[in-house]
Chain A
Amino acid sequence: MACRPQLTPVLRRLARTTSELSRQAPRPQVLSLTRTAAAAGSRSLGSSQPRPFQHTPARRKDGDDFTSIKYPELKRDGRFGRLTLDHVAHFRSLLGDSNSALIDGVANAEAAADDLEPFNSDWMRKYRGHTQLVLKPASTTEVSQILKYCNDNMLAVVPQGGNTGLVGGSVPVFDEIVLSMSRMSQILEFDDVSGTLVAEAGCILEVADQYLAARGYIFPLDLGAKGSCHLGGNLSTNAGGLRLLRYGSLHGTVLGIEAVLPDGTVVDDLSRLRKNNTGYDLKQLFIGAEGTIGVITKVSIQCPQRPAAQNVAFFGLESYEHAQRAFREAKGQLSEILSAFELMDEGSQALVHRVTGSKRPLESTHPFYCLIETSGSNADHDSEKLSAFLESVMDKGIVADGTLAQDETQLRALWAWREGITEALGHLGGVFKYDVSIPLAQMYQLVEDTRARVAEAGLLGDDADGTHPVRAVVGYGHMGDSNLHLNISTRRFDPRIEKVLEPFVYEWIAQRQGSISAEHGLGLAKKKYIGYSRSEGMVGLMKQIKGLYDPRGIMNPYKYI
């Protein structure tokens, strides 16, 4: 087997797509890894300069990309206290004097600036805060003590996981204290009969999944950022991802949580039971709350058996209508083994091709592509079903062309054409991202209408000299979940783009009773637009909950609620 490493050159495209683009290997230096990947070419909308690879002092000093400057309507809440050396001394006494538990920029802001930077900005570099203090508790007790002290002293707190969010929910706006869960990363217990996993909130998703893989189980959630994101963050944002079609949302798979309220109360709802009808299901409030009512510290989750056999097929389709028919056929013929049905348009695939240079799976181009994954327990049984399905969709003329992964390497390479879109777009410049849920029949209409609108405004053009600020308007997403990602890839920041897009996109979605945030959350990015998907009455009820659990409002302030 010694020559396996030598295969790298021939499998260059695969190696690149699998290891660099999205499926990151788990590494302990999580934050720095994401950062390097993002820094390789992405730049934010708010800044005109390409980012250097590392955070240089020069970059820190140009402060025009601070969230507080980009969003002048956000004002620091005067009720919140300013951090003092006394506060820091108290935290030090709580957490111990080790540097790993606390990053202090209060005593010497300049010296700590580099260390604080990863906690202050998100990976897309759209948001950047001014925190002077990062706390990394190692236990629930420490979290409780920290929050109680912050609550008593009116110090605002932003809980932070892997910081891989897309809506700015996990980074501070002003000088909120960052409560990083990265040291609470242990897997606590696993029951290999029931498949119940209990882990701390800072456990990295891919670490949990690999732990489960060794025991024949699978984590019910999978997403591109799995090498960096934390379970706590996944729950707090109610992340959807690639396996939702098969295993359902976290609202169903999470059995229990342990959380800490701002006053230090530990909410001990760490049930390991599938059935538990005893009063209000309060844990559901924390799933998707984005850290606004408390901090999740532990998670108990039901994990399904890992499928022994997986197959991936990739199709070219002539129209969106064909894609819908293919989806219906897939549900009908593959039913229980269908585990993903993903849609990509030609625009998105052309951009991935431009960035990665990988060999395209199909010889000719088609307006739409879809990726189908099946997971089952018996490889022969599955491939028989899949072949029958492939034959039937080819015969009926539903798909124009397609391919079926013949080995594991091809399987990963095909997935990279879907999972690699986000990063490929990031390499080409700033991206306006809309993660929306729309009734299936009209789903792609949004991309077409948006494209027409941007073109009408004279902003769209894929020309070499770059006269048009928008390069492409593309759409892709989880067709199986009616979840579309509308992406507008830009060349440079131009205030006209945002005016054309917003509130147009949100109004379009509201008219069709869609959701303006299907799986990314609201954070800061969609704070203003919650009204398009939730009525005043609903937002009022949310505010009541917020008021009840966080009466002093110290948890993740300035965000959606």
Chain B
Amino acid sequence: MSALRILVPIKRVIDYAVKPRVNKAQTGVETAGVKHSMNPFDELSVEESVRIREKKSAPGGVEDICVISAGPTKAQDILRTAMAMGADRAIHVEVKEGEDLEPLSVAKLLKTAVEQQKSNLVILGKQSIDDDANQTGQMLAGLLGWPQATQASKVEFGEGDTVSVTREVDGGAETLKAKLPMIITTDLRLNEPRYASLPNIMKAKKKPLEKKTLADFGITAERRLKVLKVTEPPTRQGGGKVDDVDGLISKLKEMGAI
């Protein structure tokens, strides 16, 4: 079996624990001064890649784990985090703040990256928690013409470059089998990401981080979609109190409920 060269695309998003707020112009979510961290689904991808290496679950072994992120300079922080978790090296594609890429552009970028890095397995989060698009993995599989297994909850390797992926579907689990090269997108129950240890955080500072631009991938940040307006969901109306059962009944009648 061929040795695995895993590509793990990751994204810097508003921290899971932070409540996002719509900006005043209603054109998007306020990102300035808000804490950012790695998309939780991407943490699962990094963790899974490192586990495949540590547990020697792939017969051919893992030759390379490369993380890649397209975003502002700050995206290098999450690339360092991924390397502290165990990735070997990182590629940062500089994208100006506010010039976010659409899923199709990301997929095109990744297609070129896969070719450049000679990857034979791409593990990526099923979606990012900022846009919730859930498209990039599928589009990338389409562009490459590779098999895809989305929303993985378990990944196992067999003989002859085969990979079995269990995915949770309505009413049970579905197991897909495909041959490398392939695309896997991760779901919540795949694993529990580790804490990066101090020695590894130190080591990660010395791991290679390659800086690139969109032009290196032959891409521009063109937008096919136009955001018209972003608004928060309507706030919940507070309830009222009634004094007794009669009060409740009259209130319900008033509302036409009974």
Contacts and interface: CB of A to CB of B under 8 A. Distances in A.
Interface of A: 1-4, 6-7, 9-11, 13, 308, 313-315, 359, 361-363, 390-391, 394, 399, 401-404, 406-410, 412
B199 A9 contact: no
A11 B17 CA distance: 10
Nearest to B187: A10
Contacts of B18: 408
B252 interface: no
A7 B129 contact: yes
For the residues of B in contact with A, the DSSP-based class is loop
A361 B129 CA distance: 24
Contacts of A402: 197-198
Contacts of A406: 37-38, 81, 84, 195-196
B69 interface: no
Interface of B: 15-18, 20, 29, 33, 35, 37-38, 40, 44, 81, 84, 127, 129-130, 132, 188-189, 192, 194-199, 201-202
Given A11-B40, A359-B192, A407 B197 contact: no
A296 B191 CA distance: 51
A401 B197 contact: yes
A374 to B, nearest CB: 15
A7 B196 contact: no
Contacts of B35: 407-408
For the residues of A in contact with B, the DSSP-based class is mixed
Nearest to B81: A406
Given A1-B20, A407-B15, A10 B40 contact: yes
Contacts of B15: 407-409
A4 B127 CA distance: 11
Nearest to B85: A406
Contact of B40 (A7, A13, A412): A7
A488 B35 CA distance: 40
Q: Which of A4, A406, A408, A412 has the most CB of B within 10 A?
A: A406
B195 A6 contact: no
B202 A394 contact: yes
Contacts of B194: 359
Given A407-B16, A408-B16, A10 B201 contact: no
A395 to B, nearest CB: 9
Given A7-B40, A390-B201, A407 B17 contact: yes
Given A2-B132, A362-B197, A403-B195, 13 more contacts: A1-B20, A1-B132, A4-B16, A6-B188, A7-B188, A10-B44, A315-B198, A359-B194, A394-B198, A401-B197, A403-B196, A403-B197, A408-B17
Q: Which of B18, B20, B29, B37 has the most CB of A within 10 A?
A: B37
B80 to A, nearest CB: 9
Nearest to A402: B198
Given A1-B20, A1-B132, A9 B38 contact: no
B188 A404 contact: no
Contacts of B33: 308
A333 B82 CA distance: 27
Contacts of B129: 1, 3-4, 7
A408 B192 contact: no
Nearest to B13: A1
A406 B81 CA distance: 7
Contacts of A11: 16, 40
A399 B198 CA distance: 10
B197 A408 contact: no
B123 to A, nearest CB: 15
A390 B127 CA distance: 34
18 contacts: A3-B127, A4-B16, A4-B129, A6-B188, A7-B16, A9-B189, A10-B40, A10-B189, A10-B192, A11-B16, A362-B197, A403-B195, A403-B201, A404-B198, A406-B196, A407-B17, A409-B16, A409-B40
Q: Which of B16, B38, B84, B195 has the most CB of A within 10 A?
A: B195
A423 B198 CA distance: 29
A13 B192 contact: yes
A390 B20 contact: no
Nearest to A404: B201
A323 B189 CA distance: 37
Nearest to A358: B192
Contacts of A394: 198-199, 202
A11 B43 CA distance: 12
Contact of B17 (A1, A363, A403, A412): A412
Give 8 nearest A-B pairs by CB, closest first. A407-B37, A408-B17, A10-B188, A402-B198, A403-B195, A408-B15, A406-B81, A9-B188
Given A3-B129, A407-B37, A407-B38, A363 B197 contact: yes
Contacts of A412: 17
B117 to A, nearest CB: 25
A397 B81 CA distance: 23
Contact of A404 (B17, B130, B196): B196
Contact of B37 (A3, A359, A401, A408): A408
A376 to B, nearest CB: 14
B17 A409 contact: yes
Given A4-B16, A13-B192, A391 B132 contact: no
Nearest to B197: A403
A362 B37 contact: no
Nearest to B78: A406
A412 B35 CA distance: 14
